[in-house]
Structure 1
């Protein structure tokens, strides 16, 4: 549904500032709730947290659909609901990531994460096509109702899944929230791998902002604002991600998973430069497919390394810290790059950040302790 909201705003306003506000609303609430969500994921039933947060997202979406049907159509309502959905996602994400190693054997984590990434990409591949078709012939509220229906189905399936409560959640909690938070921070800071990964994600997150969030605006300005172009833009990227997920599920990456991350970062940077150079829409689309294929190269091994190396009772907090980096720095990046997109051509921003991503990927090879942590023992 977030595609539809962003497209609606980009097409209605053609404003980098409005797209920036929308992006901030989609990520900033995650930042605020993540400090709590990580501790909750370690202290309480993770399956229940996922169900409740998904229910919150669906309820907010349903209310928005009803408001739009009543004829009240204000851009700020869209921003508010984006914020509520972000809040729910902030609770859900650490719980989901920490739940996976509870139900999957360690030697199968890379394959399962690859399959999970493929499924997510398939959903994201279909979503733009559905959104584009509905927005072309119908209204935004139709997409909202569809989103609510799929959420109900997902919650129903999850409720049938039997998952044992992890050890810490089963114990009587004899420490307060802030003690658990402090212990999680101490654990993360004393772990060289987690520190290295968070630093990488911090720099990476800022540099991918133009490629991740300004491509919609670039398409509308450079190639045209028809919904079929926006649909092709999103579908091409997620088609590539789906293929990349299949590759990771079958291949598993290099034996050293940190090298897989570095190669993925360099490839993403090179293709971001190519996006900035592309002058023909169909060439641009082909490059977006290849760009999408690089995403699992750094997402899957990063997730697996955290699931393998972080203690089960600490995983919720560690995943929340990683989420804080992404949800906090994405809006910060948009505060910088969004307004710049109204002054400097987005293509130029793509080229500059793409080159910096290549430098970031190469620098990983010189971090010996980080490389050492990436060796796959299975």
Structure 2
């Protein structure tokens, strides 16, 4: 077996193990808040705690990913997230649970994710040949979808049977396994830049991102898309609870059908192997998201809702792969970490901004109306990409 394939396997196994545990905890926390409060304000607070810390730490995480050992950053951040989750689980187990403590640990976990994400995005071209990036990203999206299909069921079973504390312990175990697997991956440390200040590197990365014609264009549409995807990403559990019923199985089914669609989309991307016109792929994906989100707000029956949600999920792997591979192909290796951190800052800022608007709105107007409006705008944005 070729060396790059061995590295690729170790990396994919490690990251997907870590993703599984994080997904179980993420779903458990979201559903716990939904079922306990049925409040758009508490859901907004949860999203802000999960995203804002990533926004602030990303200012530096991209520089660290270009300066320090990316493998070690990934391992340390995994351990940091697991330790904070373990502490929260123990507090819940001894009866010292509170919504505010849940918010605090969500923020701490967000810091770890903020450090890890640019390092993960930047390390991929180090271990995978450029001509294989699309196929490997497609395989990774497929693996993600399989695990994301399982994790809602696991999260729902654990939350409904033994409580949120035990669901949290799953993340601790998977993080430990992911760190052990990652330890066997051999990746070179980025070349030292000498005594260049961190602020200068940060400024250089921002200027490069905003000044690069292709990267800056992706960035603009990236920001628009994340803002308009916010209602579908975070308010659908609340919409289901208010419209169709508060049973945990409905929330689980919502996530499962999305991941089934994403799984099928990932298989297609892996089979395709490469996209000649990545802009077109992004445009079609945006329009597909927009139309399906609009339909989610109009469906009167839960089975119809699930069918539309599955179709919507099929567009995610193509969109994620096209945009990620474009960045990995266009950006020079020494700046990848900072470019990915800028993109993380955008997603980390526009989605909380979206929740500040859409969250309180969800307590005043039907969420279905919000879905219809955001879907229509997202479809319109997709048509603009090709112009």
TM-score by length of 1: 0.95
User: Which deviates further from its counterpart, 23-32 or 236-245?
Assistant: 236-245
Report the CA distance shift for 1:364/1:253 in structure 2 as closer, same or farther (over 3 A): farther
Does the 8 Å contact 1:253/1:260 carry over to 2?
no
Task: Give the structure 2 partner of residue 90 of structure 1.
Answer: 114
Kindly state the Cα deviation for residue 120 of structure 1 after the two structures are TM-superposed: 1.5
Does the 8 Å contact 2:47/2:352 carry over to 1?
yes
User: Which deviates further from its counterpart, 236-245 or 325-334?
Assistant: 236-245
Alignment partner of 1:207 out of 228, 235, 244: 228
Does the 8 Å contact 2:286/2:378 carry over to 1?
yes
Aligned partners of 1:303, 1:297: CA distance in 2, in Å? 10
Aligned partners of 2:381, 2:307: CA distance in 1, in Å? 24
Task: Give the structure 1 partner of residue 22 of structure 2.
Answer: none
Does the 8 Å contact 2:296/2:305 carry over to 1?
yes
1:178 lines up with 2:199 in the alignment: yes
Task: Give the structure 1 partner of residue 20 of structure 2.
Answer: none
1:332 lines up with 2:356 in the alignment: no
Aligned partners of 1:52, 1:73: CA distance in 2, in Å? 27
Alignment partner of 1:135 out of 155, 159, 163: 159
1:160 lines up with 2:170 in the alignment: no
Kindly state the Cα deviation for residue 173 of structure 1 after the two structures are TM-superposed: 2.4
Report the 3-state secondary structure (helix = DSSP H, G, I; strand = E; otherwise coil) of the residue aligned with 1:290.
helix
Q: Where do 4+ consecutive residues of structure 1 move more than 6 Å?
A: none
1:283 lines up with 2:304 in the alignment: yes
Alignment partner of 1:312 out of 321, 333, 338: 333
Aligned partners of 1:225, 1:234: CA distance in 2, in Å? 15
Does the 8 Å contact 2:275/2:322 carry over to 1?
no
Does the 8 Å contact 1:253/1:297 carry over to 2?
no
Instruction: Tell me the alpha carbon deviations over residues 305-342 of structure 1, each in whole angstroms, 9 at most, x when there is no partner.
Output: 00011000000000000000001111110000000001
Task: Give the structure 1 partner of residue 50 of structure 2.
Answer: 26
Task: Give the structure 1 partner of residue 67 of structure 2.
Answer: 43
Task: Give the structure 1 partner of residue 81 of structure 2.
Answer: 57
Instruction: Tell me the alpha carbon deviations over residues 43-92 of structure 1, each in whole angstroms, 9 at most, x when there is no partner.
Output: 00000000000000000000001101111110011111111111100000
Report the 3-state secondary structure (helix = DSSP H, G, I; strand = E; otherwise coil) of the residue aligned with 1:175.
coil
How many equivalent pairs are there?
363
Does the 8 Å contact 1:43/1:173 carry over to 2?
no
Task: Give the structure 1 partner of residue 240 of structure 2.
Answer: 219
Aligned partners of 2:82, 2:242: CA distance in 1, in Å? 33
Report the 3-state secondary structure (helix = DSSP H, G, I; strand = E; otherwise coil) of the residue aligned with 1:208.
helix
The residue correspondences of 1:108-147 to structure 2 (distance < 5 A) are: 108-147=132-171
Report the 3-state secondary structure (helix = DSSP H, G, I; strand = E; otherwise coil) of the residue aligned with 1:348.
helix
TM-score by length of 2: 0.92
Kindly state the Cα deviation for residue 253 of structure 1 after the two structures are TM-superposed: 5.9
TM-align CA RMSD: 0.9
Kindly state the Cα deviation for residue 252 of structure 1 after the two structures are TM-superposed: 3.9
The residue correspondences of 1:296-375 to structure 2 (distance < 5 A) are: 296-366=317-387
The residue correspondences of 1:99-110 to structure 2 (distance < 5 A) are: 99-110=123-134
Aligned partners of 1:223, 1:189: CA distance in 2, in Å? 44
Q: Where does the alignment leave 5 or more consecutive residues of structure 1 unmatched?
A: 367-378
